[in-house]
Amino acid sequence: MNSEQQNILQIANIITTGLSILGELFMIISYLKFSHKATYAMKLVNALVVSDLLYSSANILSIFPQDLPSICVTEGFLRQVGADSAAFWVVVISYSTYKQATNFDKSREKSFGKLTCLICFFSLLLAAVYVN
């Protein structure tokens, strides 16, 4: 890949990541603004957005020169945590939709905290494995 193509990739990275971060910030702000009205589904979607924000932060870090190992490690860690937790949250969203559609149970919504802890734990664990 020549330098011109690398420049194009860099520009595409900046534009797409910028758009993503703007979208994610919009969602987080609108969630915080109407947090008193937040439903269980909105909480799940917002958790997915936070994961996406971590992934976008890693993409932003990749713009900087990778000379310092700390930047490289931080980028890798954020990328893995963000992508893995996004995949986990998507599975949780689909499973919750399935359970609530087939057998609605209001008490299931209380499990959000436990789910968050579980997903954070596994994402961090996997990221630590990757980084090491």
Partner 1 sequence: MVLGLFYSIIITGAFITLVIYCRLYCSVRDSAAALNIKYFFIYPLILFLCWTPAIVDLFYTNFIGSSTFTLRLVHLIASHTQGFINALAYGAMQRAQMLAAQEESIQSIQSKHSEGGMSWSSESNFIAPSHHRTMSISTINKREDYEITQSLRTALEDYIR
Residues that bind partner 1 (CB under 8 A): 1, 5, 8-9, 12-13, 16-17, 19-24, 26-27, 30, 41, 45, 48-49, 52-53, 55-56, 59, 80, 83-84, 86-88, 90-91, 93-95, 97-98, 101-102, 126, 129-130
Closest distance to partner 1 from the beta carbon of 67 (Å): 22
Amino acid identity of 65?
P
Closest distance to partner 1 from the beta carbon of 91 (Å): 5
**Measured torsion, CA atoms of residues 21, 26, 32, 35, in degrees rounded to the nearest 10:** -120
Which single residue is written with the structure tokens 């900046």?
14
Which of 102/107 has CB closer to partner 1?
102
Interatomic CA distance for residues 113 and 57, integer angstroms: 24
Q: What are phi and psi of 34, to 5 degrees?
A: -110, 35
Closest distance to partner 1 from the beta carbon of 105 (Å): 15
Which of 53/78 has CB closer to partner 1?
53
Nearest to 40 by CA among 95, 104, 105, 112: 112
